[in-house]
Chains A and B, each alone.
Chain A
């Protein structure tokens, strides 16, 4: 899984997901990688600028990660979400629980 994890401040990391298509196949390693990232950084900001499509399995992973993060007092936010991914998130109303920010910096201001 092509993840670039950058610590922004203690406990908060940006995770750039360099995968154009987050589908069922990509979901398993994504879940493992995000669960591991949460071990060191309770709050994650996912940079989805490289992601052009995500399917239902990947969406499950994002929500699962959100639940893990909030259960441990952290947070999960999305940044740089491209329009088609954003449309999917809105279609399933995921934006009602998953905050979406225009950039990692703007997410950090809120996190």
Chain B
């Protein structure tokens, strides 16, 4: 139990230190009259300090709750006593009233700097004394309660911060895991060079993308965007990543190990993941199958923005969008579109977090797909992506993107002269 945790006003312990025995007796009488509890009178610094040290050392005794100090006497300097008392543990907030016989400015200046809370001139008037003592005790009690609350609050804040730190560490670990699912880049696979940028709006995002070799010598590409963002979207995106593989149980190959039509894959996903329940989760997806041997890109777009093309002749195109996002409506008839692309075509897959940059701003003017299309350059893949990211970030401004954004940029080159063996 700390010395100040007793109820102060119920049984205050007032200490009077005054070398003048008459003054001490008068104070004691006046205070006793005021029903302020026990009063302890001390006659000198030599009596005061041992008593104070003993009271501080022994939990059974109590430190003063209020100190009335004579300003001066033989071998006694009340201001110095006050200053030294303040240094002792538990007494920083002890109310100290100085009894002055002369109130000149320099003395009061020194007294208040030393930590005196109040003063008044002798002779002592009973009503004034009781009023000031009661007010000082009340103030001290309020200060004690306030400090206790502050201590409790800062303890709560520290506990909250500790749990937030734990959550943040978990999220960072999950984000590392999610990132580890992304294909190594920049890289070249069967003549296709690619690189990507992945910009989750929170630690974890609902976007994910993949570039996978197919047993027919082609490449599967996908970019998906789970509705919402944060942990739930990220968990769902990771689950989808597990399905969009050529591994056993993955959806990209059929039971005979043949490459499935992209639309068939999306129709199956749509049958499997219909939104409902507490969280209305669905996702947009672009899934494509590139066959370098024929230069054919077979693709299906489910609510996903159309892929952007920069053709070797410098012309630019947006591949038209397909059908609804996956999970919104049962029975959507997703169709695979096919387009033949000349060698040297640069292809950009992206999530709408890129083109919706600006949505978080006051004006809500969106970046848009035309602007993104115009930003595709012939610079090396990484440079081109960085320039796009910088341009989009500048458009979004200080409010940031507000949604997960990802970009997958590929150069579709002719297959190497010596075809690689299929894995």
Contact = CB atoms under 8 A, between A and B. Distances in A.
Interface in B329-359: 329, 352, 356, 359
B321 A91 contact: yes
Nearest to B227: A56
Interface string B348-381: 0000100010010000101000000000000000
A99 interface: no
A97 B227 contact: no
B330 to A, nearest CB: 9
Contact of A60 (B227, B305, B352, B364): B227
Interface stretch (B105-113, B241-249, B277-285): B277-285
B359 A55 contact: yes
A88 B321 CA distance: 12
Interface in A23-57: 24, 27, 31, 52-53, 55-57
B305 A53 contact: no
Given A92-B303, A96-B323, A63 B284 contact: no
Contacts of A61: 280
Contacts of B305: 91
A67 B282 CA distance: 14
A27 to B, nearest CB: 8
Contacts of B321: 91-93
Most buried by A among B225, B276, B322, B328: B328
Interface string A61-80: 10110010000000000000
Contact of B328 (A24, A55, A63, A87): A63
B378 to A, nearest CB: 27
Nearest to B363: A52
B415 interface: no
B6 to A, nearest CB: 49
Interface residues of B, number: 26
B228 A64 contact: no
A1 B51 CA distance: 67
Given A53-B364, A55-B403, A60-B227, A92 B324 contact: yes
Contacts of B413: none
Contacts of B325: 92-93
B359 A63 contact: no
A48 to B, nearest CB: 14
Most buried by A among B280, B352, B359: B280
B227 A59 contact: yes
A96 B331 CA distance: 13
Contact of B280 (A21, A52, A60, A93): A60
A84 interface: yes
Contacts of B281: 60
Interface in B24-40: none
A31 B103 CA distance: 73
26 contacts: A24-B228, A52-B364, A53-B364, A56-B225, A56-B228, A56-B403, A57-B227, A57-B228, A57-B280, A60-B328, A63-B329, A64-B275, A64-B276, A64-B280, A67-B329, A87-B366, A88-B356, A91-B321, A92-B284, A92-B304, A92-B324, A93-B322, A93-B325, A94-B324, A96-B323, A96-B324
Interface of A: 21, 24, 27, 31, 52-53, 55-57, 59-61, 63-64, 67, 84, 87-88, 91-94, 96-97
Given A53-B359, A55-B359, A60-B275, 11 more contacts: A27-B280, A53-B364, A56-B352, A57-B228, A63-B275, A63-B282, A64-B280, A87-B366, A88-B356, A93-B324, A94-B324
